[in-house]
Amino acid sequence: MKRQLAIGGAMVGAAGAALGWTIARKLTAPVGPRRFNLTLRGVEINGDRQLLLLDRTGDTEAPGTYNLWFERGGWAQLGNEVEDRGQNLVARIVVGVSPGFTPRASDRASWSGIYFATPEDAGLVARDITIRTPVGSAPAWRVDGHTSTWAIHLHGLGSPRTGTLRGVQVATQLGLTSLVVSYRNDGEGPTVGAGRSTLGAAETEDVEAAIGYAVRRGAERIVLFGWSMGAAIALQLATRSDYGPQIVGLVLDSPVLNWIEVIKANCNRARLPSSLGLLAVPWLTNAQLSRLTGVACQIPFRESDWIARADELSVPTLILHGADDDSVPINTSSALAGKRPDLVQLESFNAGHTLAWNSDTERWRATVSAWLSGHLAV
């Protein structure tokens, strides 16, 4: 009987280890191709209005401005209006399409909050530059302004840098020079090892190189705009970078403030018990185990717990977060704002992960603009 119990215990332990390894691998996976999981059910032309018919989902019926990216190339920007077309369909009005593209019924598409494909689409005049990072050259966009305050825009895990253009517009209107950067293993920056993310642990070095680029070219003050994992990178830089004195503000959208809580939330999102996420922690935090997952270095999760480290914050911070975010829940942002009301302002939106801008574009822009103007006198 004891032997049977021992065998059973070993099997359970092995199964738990295997599941933890699988979760760790999924979380740090190299950037993959976009998934086109929507089918365009029809196209309506009503005068000068074009509407696209889509299956009704939580995304497609959400008010706000979004983008459809199509498998055969091209995109269509969708306006705020949502019209019912029966129980299973909604119609979304088209407010812009990529040049030469015409949506067709049966097209496969991907729903996204990434609204602009290029800086030009966002009305920005950008030039391509290269940042020399410790692991190679990383492409970036530079949008010149007329003040000595620069904004550096940091995208999140699995998201391209185009997603940050939503924030670059505000920085540009205020006269800031912007750098829209890439970093290692994000699909655009240098590829290191197996191409896996270190959840900001190593990527921070590449963003620090971008700050150095800005300082050497006249930047006296730096504002970091961080989206999701980009926010985790921004917080590390604000507290430990040699350029810390130049970092005067953080604008964080859907910020990762505790990786363990994020892992648990995403297990729950996948309809698994959230506690199973804890099985992945040793595979990412232990030096030997992390190598077995293909991650280039161990990930110090304790350093990413900004609720525990709240007293270390010294930079004024604006957080914009969706109340419906099931990937990076808003409760961590609420906890940080509660601990540091002297430094942290939280603005809640009726939105999912990194979709606050999309859910209420004018409010997002006005909030960021007012906060920057008030705190930085730009």
> Which whole-number Å values give the CA distances from 115 to 64, 95, 209, 338, in the listed order?
11, 11, 27, 32
CATH assignment, 120-376: 3.40.50.1820
Q: pLDDT per position in the chain (378 positions), as tens?
A: 444 433 443 434 467 789 999 999 999 999 989 999 999 999 999 888 999 999 999 999 999 999 999 999 999 999 998 999 988 999 999 999 999 999 999 999 999 999 999 999 999 999 999 999 999 999 999 999 999 999 999 999 999 999 999 999 999 999 999 999 999 999 999 999 999 999 999 999 999 999 999 999 999 999 999 999 999 999 999 999 999 999 999 999 999 999 999 999 999 999 889 999 999 999 999 989 999 999 989 999 999 999 999 999 999 999 999 999 999 999 999 999 999 999 999 999 999 999 999 999 999 999 999 999 998 876
> How many CB atoms lie under 10 A from the CB of residue 34?
13
Locate all alpha helices (DSSP H) within 220-342, ordered by sequence. Answer: 229-240, 259-269, 281-285, 287-292, 331-339
Amino acid at 31: V
- pTM reported for the whole predicted model: 0.94
Look at residues 109, 228, 205 and name the one whose alpha carbon lies nearest to residue 159. 228
